[in-house]
Amino acid sequence: MAGDQGLGDEGRTPSDGAAVSALGERLRAEVAKVIVGQNRAVHDVIVGLFAGGHLLLEGVPGTGKTLLVRALSLALSAGFRRIQFTPDLMPSDLVGVSVWSQRDDTFEFRPGPVFADLLLADEINRAPAKTQAALLEAMSERAVTVDGRRHPLPSLFTVLATQNPVEFEGTYPLPEAELDRFMMKVVVPYPERDDEQGILDRYAAGFDAERDETFGIERVASVDEIVAVRRGLDAVIAEPRVLGYVTDVVRATRETPSLLLGASPRAGVSLFQCARATAALDGRDFVTPDDVKAMAPAVLRHRVVVSPELEVEGGTADDALAAVLERVEVPR
């Protein structure tokens, strides 16, 4: 298996910057066999995976959000489950149920699909509030409670959720509390013309998004490797000036007139972790202000609320955040 040729055979630990960078490049290369273009989205998903956060992928239908997650799951030797969120989805459909066992004369817990290393929550913004609440517990505590009993989730447990923009029929805005549990909101835009034609070229050559066997993806990473990368991020150094920059950026979102709601302290932690993962992915053991600046839009865009005035002018959260990053002084 391709994953057997990874970090262990090279005698390196996942905290080795060069090894982490090589692992990230192998994942990127495998995903690129299926996803044409979308380089920024693929980069951010790998950063989020290494940083240990849950990810929200947003884009109009047909831009490859679900396909990206499927491709990543095929490149990992990890347990993968997919849930199609619908208005009638119940919490028990997600977390599982306790069933009476006549043989043992007791209730037996039957785990739901949330018990996975990677969970694809497809079209998450179509689910009812009760189901959202069940998922929120799993995301925040990496455990679920059923009939008063707590059940821990796998160590790698990561939610990769997709949603269509809220303007589309049949979708509902996610609660702020749940949005704040997503480390990043990754935007998957329409592809460039050359990339879009490249998609057709692949279909002409026999690719089929409904048949995994046409993907040609090899498994190049294991659960243990990803968990080790996450633990190894503690060795990535951030100087006080960089930590101060993270703090200044987050606090500036609360003082910007174009934003009704600024980012929370949890956003600062997520931004720091993503900056660390970005540095490790680049093969470095130290964080730079550029790492922070590069990851700020993805980490903060779903945690802020745009003012009506900016919305009327056609402005977006990314526009407001660009102004914030322009205004906050970058340490030298």
The secondary structure of 177-198 as a DSSP string is HHHTTEEEEEE--PPPHHHHHH
pLDDT of residue 189 exceeding 50, the answer is: yes
User: What radius of gyration, in Å, describes the C-alpha atoms of the chain?
Assistant: 20
At 241, the pLDDT band (50, 70, 90 cuts) reads very high
Q: Which pLDDT value is given to residue 168?
A: 66
Q: For residues 323 and 257, what is the distance between their CA atoms, to the nearest angstrom?
A: 11
Nearest CA to 227 among 72, 23, 18, 28?
23
pLDDT in tens, 80-89: 999 999 989 9
pLDDT of 323 reads 96
Looking at the DSSP bridge assignments, the partners of residue 18 are none
Q: Which pLDDT score, from 0 to 100, does residue 155 have?
A: 92
List beta partners, residue 107: 100
DSSP calls for 1-32: -GGGGSTGGGT--TTSHHHHHHHHHHHHHHHT
Query: What residue ranges do the domains of the chain occupy?
Result: 2-234, 236-332
Q: How confident is the model at residue 1 (pLDDT cuts 50, 70, 90)?
A: very low
pLDDT higher at 298 or 97 = 298
User: What average pLDDT does the segment 298-321 reach?
Assistant: 94
Please tell me the predicted confidence (pLDDT) of residue 104: 74
Helix runs in 38-84, H state only: 39-51, 65-75
The pLDDT of residue 102 is 75
Helices 265-281 and 39-51, axial angle in degrees (round to 10): 110
109: confidence class by pLDDT, cuts 50, 70, 90: confident
What pLDDT was estimated at residue 2?
38
The stretch 270-279 carries a mean pLDDT of 97
Six-digit token pair at 330?
């970058």
Return d(Cα 5, Cα 1) in angstroms, integer. 8
Q: What is the pLDDT of residue 167?
A: 65
Rounded CA-CA distance 103/98 in Å is: 14
CATH class in words for 2-234: alpha beta
CB 66 within 8 A of CB 162: yes
β-strands 118-122, 80-84 pairing = parallel
pLDDT tens digits, one per residue of 146-185:
888 899 999 999 999 999 886 666 677 788 888 999 999 9
Would you state the pLDDT for residue 127?
85
Q: What is the mean pLDDT of residues 275-294?
A: 96
* Lowest-confidence pick of 147-151, 212-216, 320-324: 147-151
Looking at domain 236-332, what is its CATH homologous superfamily? Magnesium chelatase subunit I, C-Terminal domain (1.10.8.80)
> How much is the average pLDDT of 216-221?
95
- The string of pLDDT tens digits covering residues 43-71 is 999 999 999 999 999 999 999 999 999 99
Q: Residue 6: pLDDT above 60?
A: no
Return the amino acid letter for 324.
V
Q: Is the Cα dihedral 132, 136, 139, 145 positive or negative?
A: negative
The pLDDT of 284-288, averaged and rounded, is: 96
Are 2-234 and 236-332 equal in CATH topology?
no
If one counts every other C-beta atom within 10 angstroms of the C-beta of residue 100, the result is 9
Least confident of 18-27, 120-129, 182-191: 120-129
At 215, the amino acid letter reads F
Percentage of the chain lying above the pLDDT 70 cut:
94
**Helix, strand, coil fractions of the chain, as percent rounded to 5:** 50, 15, 35
pLDDT tens sequence across 10-22:
444 445 778 999 9
- From the list 13, 18, 23, 17, the residue with the least C-alpha distance to 222 is 23
